[in-house]
Amino acid sequence: MKPSIVVLAALAAASVVALAQPPRELEQAWFKSGQDPDNYVIGVDDGGYRRGGNAKFIRHKTGKPADGNEWATLMQAVSAENYRGKRVRFSAEVRTRNVTGWAGLWMRVDQPNGESMLYNSQDKPIKGTNDWQRRSVVLDVARNAQTIMFGVIDGGAGQVWIDDLRFEVVGDDVPADRGYHSAKPPRKPSL
């Protein structure tokens, strides 16, 4: 047998084994949530990175969502204590493959009374297949904020990678995104 055929066969076998491997697990701080989190896989893609070999991803398991409203998020939650009264930016390099709905970065700031501020990038969606692009979300953190949550949304089928992540305090010269204010929830249901 020719050496080139042996090498090609070995490479093909290695590719099949690599594809069969489960994704490397994320750091404990990262988790998935959303409307249909069980229909999505999260992990670390050693080969899908922009910088450093640590690209996080969220991917629809079957590639065929049951309906057009299916979505999940790869996210993290942190205490707002060190950020109260400041403007913060969550940014990342984002890449997509075959996203059927939309993808984007998001951030939410929660207050103890149940009020929150949310920006989810739905007005700047990433759809289809795209190479790496820098995206960001900027919000003001209320002086009484308790928690800041942030991550990336995968709406529908497809896969979204994030890499070169930054979470930082920025000055007032950096414009804040126009978030959605969620009022304090009512104490009793309206039936």
Report the predicted TM-score, pTM, of the whole model to 2 decimal places: 0.81
Q: Which long-range contacts (CB under 8 A, 24 or more apart) does 119-127 make?
A: 119/177, 119/178, 119/179, 119/180, 120/153, 120/180, 121/153, 126/94, 126/96, 126/99, 126/102, 126/160, 127/96, 127/99, 127/101, 127/102, 127/103
CATH classification of the domain holding 84: 2.60.120.260
71 in any annotated domain: yes
Query: Residue 62's domain spans which residues?
Result: 23-182
30 in any annotated domain: yes
Pairing of strands 31-34, 71-79: antiparallel
For the chain, how many structural domains are there in total?
A: 1
Per-residue pLDDT of the chain (191 residues; tens, 9 = 90+): 555 454 444 444 444 444 445 566 676 789 999 998 999 999 998 776 666 667 999 999 987 766 667 899 999 999 999 999 999 999 999 999 999 999 999 999 999 988 899 999 999 999 999 999 999 999 999 999 999 999 999 998 999 999 999 999 999 999 999 888 776 666 667 66
